[in-house]
Structure 1
């Protein structure tokens, strides 16, 4: 018994020409699109999804209000992206964004207790732990969306 493999190389030169043409393509539009989508995904996570990129629901806040939105106006307003021909980055520039992303334990510097108000109630505490509520990052669905955009962009170049 014998077997054979047939390789049709009739379109190989055309394919090679298309691939060679990619060397001169400016991916700035793709990177701008990727950055805008990443920013949109991050905003959606804060306003609607209320979960980390890994799908873990955020812990509720003490006041029972919408997590990261009551005082998070600053956070949401600082979410932005930058893009160049080589990369796209997005995140939040608000000075306290890292506290919400990573969590933090706050202790008094010059007093025995922290003092703050929640609603009408004065609170005194030795420390306050803000749990992490990651909002920047890529979920599996986010990755698929970005991969689809990139694949579509490459496909349009090779047509």
Structure 2
């Protein structure tokens, strides 16, 4: 062939992005760590402002009313037991206290034996036929949290894949 034209495309930017995509699975824990940290902080703020996931005020507990304290913050165990775990394909966060689900979902408690439940609140004994603990949701994602997660994912994709950070 006496005459030939060769057209060669510079695919190095595309190849660089594909190489980064191959590494994404190994490096995504950084993104999940950021999400876990932000969702944990959002949960802590719910205790600070005494509000549920949707921003509604929690019903004040007996103990908080009697002692002038805050609901869910008597000894700090529930709040201090909050943590998050980065998983292979996500993140989870919650509380390690055995009563956390009762605080979150609420409960209806009746006596196992006899007619009354007897317990102490703020140094005073109570004798009641039942106890209704209202739901005070603290775990979950609201619209603001969802926007935060999307921002983290978007920034990670932008920094990690597009810019090759």
Same fold (TM over 0.5): yes
Cα gap change, 1:125 to 1:90, in 2 (>3 Å): same
Structure number with larger C-alpha Rg: 2
What is aligned with 1:95? 98
Give the superposition deviation at 1:117: 2.2
1:14-33 aligned within 5 A = 14=13, 17-18=16-17, 21-25=20-24, 26-33=27-34
Q: Hey, what's the Cα distance between the residues in 1 that align with 2:61 and 2:129? A: 18
How many pairs align? 148
What is aligned with 2:71? 67
Q: Hey, what's the Cα distance between the residues in 1 that align with 2:10 and 2:50? A: 49
Q: Hey, what's the Cα distance between the residues in 1 that align with 2:55 and 2:18? A: 38
Q: Which runs of 5+ in 2 are unaligned?
A: 1-8
Cα gap change, 1:156 to 1:11, in 2 (>3 Å): farther
Q: CA RMSD in A?
A: 2.2
Q: Which runs of 5+ in 1 are unaligned?
A: 1-9
1:42-57 aligned within 5 A = 42-46=43-47, 48-57=48-57
Q: Select 1:83's aligned residue among 82, 86, 93.
A: 86
- TM-score norm. by structure 2 comes to 0.79
- TM-score norm. by structure 1 comes to 0.82
Q: Hey, what's the Cα distance between the residues in 1 that align with 2:18 and 2:41? A: 31
What is aligned with 1:133? 136
Q: Which deviations, in whole Å up to 9, do the C-alpha atoms of 1:50-84 show, x marking residues without a partner?
A: 1111122111112322011014x221121111003
